Structure 1
Amino acid sequence: MTVPRQLPNAITVVRILCAPVFLWMLLADAGADGPLRWWAAVLFIVAIATDGIDGAIARRNDIVTDLGKILDPVADKALTGCAFVGLSILGELPWWITIVVLVREIGITVYRFAVVSDHVLAAAWMGKLKTVAQAVALSLALLPLWHVAGEWIWWVNAVTMTIAVILTVASGIDYAVSEVRGRRTARP
């Protein structure tokens, strides 16, 4: 069976379009733990899970494109950025965490666009690990599991968010160091 060449990028675009819908659902009832909160969390989890699906389809069918390499991290950042901002608006996540994460994410994205004519900066292993850690931490923070599991879930959320923030900063440093090294070795 032949996979359409545009399928991975189409999945990525759908992930981008899910971001504002997710944010609206999260904030629509002021973050109350009702049905909209649960649906927002489910939409986030399903959308962020497509990150692995689009990449796997592209690699398996040898249809990886430069556009996909650019759109994929933008989609991840749109979705996770909306989650960080939404949780901070609701008072469930300190703003300093959101600011640290967004500065890293926006900085790397702007840099990617700045060097796109020179080379495409694909995601490194640490950046992929960071995305998984953010996805897990945000999924746990978005799901109102304290009603089901009890108050101890706040500790689990704090630990997973701490790991996500550490990996976010570390992967940003890793990107910067890799780019500096790459530029030095590329000089004649």
Structure 2
Amino acid sequence: MNLANKITLARIFLVPVVMIFLLVRLNLGVIRFGGGEITISEIIAAVIFILAAITDGLDGYIARKKKLVTNLGKFLDPLADKLLISAALISLVEMQRLEAWIAIVIISREFAVTGLRMVAAAEGQVIAASVLGKLKTIVQIIAIVVLIVNNFPFSTIAFPFDEIITWVAVIITLLSGIDYFSKNYQVIRFSKSR
């Protein structure tokens, strides 16, 4: 197993670690501020989530730079991304910091685009990540981190950055999904019947 795939696997193994710090009531202390509070566990979860998210770009960079692109990597990388984002969103719903419908919309888009890519792959085509798709990922990561840390430090000045960035994430998620399907409609339309 090459270095890029090991980094991707590390991202997968960090998913349950993030969830433990978010969902298990570890008594590590609380920081109170103007509009609310944040636990030390949530800060640790946010740091681990950020590190895991950084590995997404890192493993791809290493795989391309050192010519380590493998079929295993092509399978594991998107799987790791979906697991990380989905687990964080579901945890935030459990923590009552995110509406369930928002998590459903984002996760559904991920499954739909993955399905589209699988149909394309069966036809011998590759659907590369679009600029809008990459922007979607960045905005989702920012939104998740802000929600994990309970809108800190913006809540100290009563600025609803968490709500704003969540709406931006939902809108860009939907737009990028529409973009993938509109640009690749022929993949579904002309796919071989089974």
The normalised TM-score by structure 2 is 0.81
Say whether the 8 Å CA contact 2:113–2:177 is kept in structure 1. yes
Cα distance in 1 between the residues matched to 2:168 and 2:83: 20
Deviation of 1:161 after TM superposition, in Å, equals: 1.3
Alignment match of 1:17 (pick from 10, 13, 32): 13
Which moved further from structure 2: 100-109 or 174-183? 174-183
Unpaired segments ≥5 residues, structure 1:
none
Matches of 2:132 and 2:26, distance apart in 1: 34
Alignment partners' CA distance in 2, 1:165 and 1:116: 27
Amino acid at match of 1:12: T
Residue of 145, 150, 172 corresponding to 1:167: 172
- Between the aligned partners of 1:103 and 1:145, the Cα distance in structure 2 is 25
Identify the residue that residue 40 of structure 1 maps to in structure 2.
45
Please, which of 106, 109, 113 is the counterpart of residue 114 of structure 2?
109
- 2:83 is aligned with 1:78: yes
More strand, by proportion = 2
Q: TM-score if structure 1 supplies the norm length?
A: 0.83
CA contact (8 A) 2:93 2:99 kept: yes
Is 1:126 matched up with 2:132?
yes
Question: Structure 2 counterpart of 1:69, which letter?
Answer: K
1:41, 1:142 within 8 Å by CA — same for their partners in 2? yes
8 Å Cα contact 2:106-2:170 kept in structure 1: yes
Q: What is the rounded CA distance, in whole Å, between the counterparts of 2:85 and 2:56 in structure 1?
A: 12
RMSD: 2.7
Is 1:94 matched with 2:99? yes
Q: How many residues align?
A: 182
